[in-house]
Amino acid sequence: MKVLGKAMRSIWVEADGWSVGVIDQTQLPHHFATARLAAADDAARAIRSMLVRGAPLIGATAAYGMCLALRQDASDGALERAYALLVSARPTAVNLRWALDEVRRAVAPLPPPERAAAAYQRAAALCEEDVAINRAIGERGLALLQEAWARRGREGRVNVLTHCNAGWLATVDWGTALAPIYMAHDAGIPVHVWVDETRPRNQGAGLTAWELGQHGVPHTVIADNAGGHLMQHGLVDLCIVGTDRTTARGDVANKIGTYLKALAAKDNGVPFYVALPSPTIDWALQDGVREIPIEQRDGAELCDVTGRLPSGELATVRITPPGSPAENHAFDVTPARLVTALITERGVCEASPDGLRSLFPERTQAGA
Ligand code: MRU
């Protein structure tokens, strides 16, 4: 996608041929800055501190973290240490474990001197796969937006509500939930996006609004609690969100607040779609509410707000009384019954065991 008119991805190998470049997402939308990762520790820190975030990008960063570790020490012990370091960086997005497993499977059978090169090859391939998956999700989802546009009699605009950031910043390119929106916009469908601010870290207000703006997609930032009201007044044609882990029966973990949007959508007859790349499916799990680990982050993310002063300087201010405790549950789970359909790279399916298996027949419920 484009930044200041220039095409770029969210992660790349630097000109030195080994270190890894990423966009520092903690500085957006105020500053566009990149960061260089030179060791597995850097990659783990970038994931933990959310310099990079979004399930697919967390996976890609972890894959390159393995490359950086193996470059320094390609022994069996170092491989396992890097895996353990990176897999514990964040708990909810299953893409992290998936990407690490992919790299480990590719390099473990090789003699140590061949491992680093093979890891770079696998990490690069994972990134290309992510781009292809997201492009396919975009194409599948575009059909849903074309239908919504037809339902409107091609009048006005198609209003899509999204939560958090499931755009290209959260992936290697295109995004998942935003890919259909970019394609619809490029195809001339007048699409407008209601962007949930997404407290506490404001991935909607800061990241989704920024990347939609970079691509020229009309959008409006709304308070997290506004979606239900907009739906009651017919101002939302459909919702599309991303996911960090979806179980074999179609329960969907995503950024905290997603569940409430799904409830409001159900109550108002608004279709609620989840864009789901297959590496985000945890085939070993069924009951998302009970089984998906939910990340608990520092309460300070809730109590402190960072923004830009009129002088251009950034400032962080506290909005809660001193001494008030805060809990920061970073994700919630939307049960499959509230999801209208899943948009995968292989097609759109019902959020159910049968729906998922119809598109991924090679998988069994036992986690094959
Ligand atoms: O905490 P974050 O910013 O990593 O959470 C990201 C989300 O919840 C996204 O919606 C999800 O990862 C899907 S990204 C394509």
Confidence tier at 368 by pLDDT (50, 70, 90): very low
**Spatial distance between the Cα atoms of 329 and 237, rounded to a whole number of angstroms:** 29
Rounded to the nearest angstrom, the distance between the alpha carbon of 329 and the centre of ligand 1 is 13
CATH superfamily of 138-359: Translation initiation factor eif-2b; domain 2 (3.40.50.10470)
Q: What is the mean pLDDT of the chain?
A: 97
Q: Crossing angle of helices 76-87/55-72, nearest 10°? A: 150
Mean pLDDT (whole number) for 11-40: 97
Whether the predicted pLDDT of 4 surpasses 90: no
Ligand 1 pocket by C-beta < 6 Å: which residues?
53-56, 93, 164, 166, 170-171, 175-176, 203, 242-244, 254-255, 330
pLDDT, residue 18, reads 98
Q: Which of 51, 53, 280 has the most ligand 1 atoms within 8 A of CB, as the residue to mutate?
A: 53
Look at ligand 1, atom 5, and give the residue with the nearest C-alpha: 54
pTM score over 0.95: yes
E strands, the chain, are 2-3, 6-7, 11-13, 20-23, 34-37, 158-162, 191-196, 219-222, 238-241, 245-247, 252-255, 272-275, 281-282, 296-297, 304-308, 314-318, 328-329, 331-334, 341-344, 347-349
Confidence tier at 2 by pLDDT (50, 70, 90): confident
**Tens digits of per-residue pLDDT, 229-265?**
999 999 999 999 999 999 999 999 999 999 999 999 9
Confidence tier at 367 by pLDDT (50, 70, 90): very low
Cα-based distances in Å from 273 to 57, 163, 205:
21, 12, 21
Q: Which of 254, 261, 294 has the most ligand 1 atoms within 8 A of CB, as the residue to mutate?
A: 254
Residue 134 is labelled as binding a ligand: no
Mean pLDDT (whole number) for 26-39: 96
Domain 2-129: give its CATH code. 1.20.120.420
Look at ligand 1, atom 8, and give the residue with the nearest C-alpha: 255
Ligand 1 atom closest to Cα of residue 275: 15
Rounded to the nearest angstrom, the distance between the alpha carbon of 99 and the centre of ligand 1 is 16
Concerning whether 130 is annotated as a catalytic residue, the answer is no
Q: Which of 22, 181, 203 has the most ligand 1 atoms within 8 A of CB, as the residue to mutate?
A: 203
Whether the predicted pLDDT of 293 surpasses 50: yes
**Tens digits of per-residue pLDDT, 202-227?**
999 999 999 999 999 999 999 999 99
Q: Where does the chain hold its CATH 3.40.50.10470 domain(s)?
A: 138-359
Residue 90 is labelled as binding a ligand: yes
User: Which position among 244, 251, 282, 332 bears the catalytic label?
Assistant: 244
Q: Where does the chain hold its CATH 1.20.120.420 domain(s)?
A: 2-129
- SS3 of 321, please? coil
- Phi and psi at 35, nearest 5°, equal -135, 155
Confidence tier at 342 by pLDDT (50, 70, 90): very high
Residue 55 is labelled as binding a ligand: yes
Rounded to the nearest angstrom, the distance between the alpha carbon of 56 and the centre of ligand 1 is 8
CA torsion sign for 232, 238, 241, 246 is: positive
**Tens digits of per-residue pLDDT, 111-170?**
999 999 999 999 999 999 999 999 999 999 999 999 999 999 999 999 999 999 999 999
**Spatial distance between the Cα atoms of 22 and 238, rounded to a whole number of angstroms:** 32
Which class for 197: exposed (0-12), middle (13-18), buried (19 or more C-beta within 10 A)? buried
Mean pLDDT (whole number) for 304-321: 95
**Spatial distance between the Cα atoms of 234 and 215, rounded to a whole number of angstroms:** 26
Ligand 1 atom closest to Cα of residue 255: 8
Residue 119 is labelled as binding a ligand: no
Q: What share of the chain is helix, strand, coil (3-state, %, to 5)?
A: 45, 20, 40
